[in-house]
């Protein structure tokens, strides 16, 4: 098959229903040249794992996610005078500097720290459910899937929860900036919104540098040391942004996919309600089926090939984690939910290699507890017939649903 004849992941219709394209790619072209973006798209699990291992050949320092090196003069001036220049630290970086920055955040996201947050996650989930449980209906995407992880971020910032919609807006802005089809005018508008976020983060850095606040992630980051020194304001801003955006967008998306599946599959829902020990494996399968960050990018540093397809030096490779999780050579019956799949965590939902998600323990704990509490309290969960059923949203860099309106048996107001 001519690799140039296949559809593009940048097509909104494909984003709303990527599965026919994914199946076609696995059958006919596990590596193909996207006709719109010009990226070489890689969908095979083994190829994706190989690219992640070969940091000497496939550089993570591209301009795709951060725009570093591809800014217009106006955008460069905006960040230089009003905000902070974007720089490669974690998600878009290579060794050895990636190793240095990763060591810092690994000290922030320790297992013991996440464990101390579990009672707080439980109380927060119950507080949010209290807000709609007696009504018998809810906008579950807005009032639970989005709010729970954004509230966690707000609390970890030491900011008021009443500003949660600002955090969500800023996160959406950062995600939207990754779209390669943006016009220069659209990108400049988004960058101006992004600078608002940068100014907020800098204010928090100044506050926490002067007065540490025990138990908050940004305070821990403000006092973390690299090579015997504190992070510079620019380093702090770029790392904090990753923690804020990745900390809510991916978790919110996975929550949404979990609840959509539980409404559509009442037999599975009853199984999880009866045995909460199955919830972690359910989460892993949903992370596999619906990788929240579907694609990541590498620049090819020398001529190479993947699955027999020549890829010249300087090309951009797009690793489709979403598609890789449907590789039938790695996952038998890939579209099926198999709670006994082994090894159940060996998917790409949290990435691979040195860029494996640093906040995976935090996300898994939020998801597990959030699902437990909602299953315990909302009975007869179903889609609200007055609204369309949820569908995949037409987004390039986030794999989520467009809405999630539900009904359930009203619960008495808790004391």
pLDDT digits (tens, 9 = 90+) for 79-92: 999 999 999 999 89
Tell me the whole-structure pTM to 2 decimals: 0.92
Query: How many DSSP H helices and E strands does the chain contain?
Result: 16, 12
More confident residue, 301 or 247: 301
Q: How far apart are CA 319 and CA 296, in angstroms?
A: 5
Could you tell me the pLDDT band of residue 413, with boundaries at 50, 70 and 90?
A: low
Segment 376-391 mean pLDDT? 96
Contacts of 205 (CB under 8 A, 6+ apart): 218, 222, 233, 236, 237, 240
Is residue 402 a contact partner of residue 391, using CB atoms and an 8 Å limit? Answer: yes
Q: How many CA atoms lie within 13 A of 86 on its CB side?
A: 26
Q: Is 373 buried (19+), middle (13-18) or exposed (0-12) by CB count in 10 A?
A: buried
Taking each helix axis from N to C end, the angle separating 233-264 and 266-274, rounded to the nearest 10 degrees, works out to 110
More confident residue, 10 or 216: 10
Q: What is the pLDDT of residue 109?
A: 77
Q: What is the pLDDT of residue 168?
A: 86
Does position 368 have pLDDT exceeding 50, yes or no? yes
The values of phi and psi at residue 118, to 5°, are: -60, -45
Q: How far apart are CA 392 and CA 408, in angstroms?
A: 23
The values of phi and psi at residue 391, to 5°, are: -135, 160
pLDDT tens-digit map of 135-189: 999 999 999 999 999 999 888 777 778 888 888 889 889 988 888 778 889 999 9
Q: What angle do CA 177, 18, 297 make, to 5 degrees?
A: 40
- What are the tokens at 317? 């490779």
Q: Compute how many other C-beta atoms are within 10 angstroms of the C-beta atom of residue 81.
A: 8
pLDDT tens-digit map of 270-290: 999 999 999 999 999 999 999
Does position 3 have pLDDT exceeding 50, yes or no? no
């Amino acid at each position: 098959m001519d690799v140039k004849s296949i559809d593009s992941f940048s097509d909104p219709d494909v984003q709303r229903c990527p599965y026919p394209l994914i199946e076609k790619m696995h059958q006919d072209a596990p590596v193909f040249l996207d006709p719109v973006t010009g990226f070489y798209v890689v969908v095979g699990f083994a190829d994706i794992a190989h690219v992640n291992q070969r940091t000497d050949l496939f550089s993570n320092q591209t301009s795709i996610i951060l725009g570093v090196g591809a800014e217009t003069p106006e955008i460069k001036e905006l960040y230089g005078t009003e905000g902070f220049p974007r720089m490669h630290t974690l998600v878009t970086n290579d060794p050895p500097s990636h190793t240095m920055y990763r060591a810092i955040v690994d000290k922030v996201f320790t297992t013991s720290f996440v464990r101390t947050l579990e009672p707080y996650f439980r109380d927060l989930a119950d507080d949010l459910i209290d807000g709609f449980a007696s009504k018998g209906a809810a906008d579950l995407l807005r009032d639970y899937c989005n709010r729970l992880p954004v509230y966690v971020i707000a609390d970890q910032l030491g900011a008021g929860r009443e500003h949660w919609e600002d955090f969500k807006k800023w996160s959406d802005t950062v995600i939207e900036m990754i779209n390669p089809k943006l016009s220069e005018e659209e990108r400049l508008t988004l960058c101006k919104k992004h600078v608002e976020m940068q100014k907020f983060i800098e204010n928090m850095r100044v506050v926490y540098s002067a007065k540490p606040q025990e138990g908050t992630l940004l305070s821990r980051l403000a006092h973390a040391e690299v090579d015997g020194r504190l992070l510079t304001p620019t380093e702090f801003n770029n790392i904090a942004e990753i923690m804020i955006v990745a900390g809510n967008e991916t978790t919110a998306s996975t929550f949404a996919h979990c609840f959509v599946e539980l409404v559509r599959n009442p037999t599975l829902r009853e199984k999880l309600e009866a045995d909460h020990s199955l919830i972690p494996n359910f989460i892993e399968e949903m992370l596999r089926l619906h990788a929240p960050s579907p694609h990541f990018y590498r620049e090819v540093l020398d001529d190479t090939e993947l699955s027999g397809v020549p890829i010249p030096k300087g090309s951009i490779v797009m690793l489709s984690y979403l598609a890789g999780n449907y590789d039938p050579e790695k996952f038998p019956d890939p579209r099926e939910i198999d709670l006994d799949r082994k090894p159940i965590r060996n998917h790409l939902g949290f990435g691979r290699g040195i860029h494996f998600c640093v906040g995976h323990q935090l996300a898994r704990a939020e998801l597990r507890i959030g699902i437990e509490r909602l299953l315990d309290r909302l009975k007869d969960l179903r889609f609200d017939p007055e609204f369309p059923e949820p569908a995949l949203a037409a987004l390039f860099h986030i794999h989520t649903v467009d809405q999630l309106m539900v009904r359930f048996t009203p619960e008495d107001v808790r004391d």
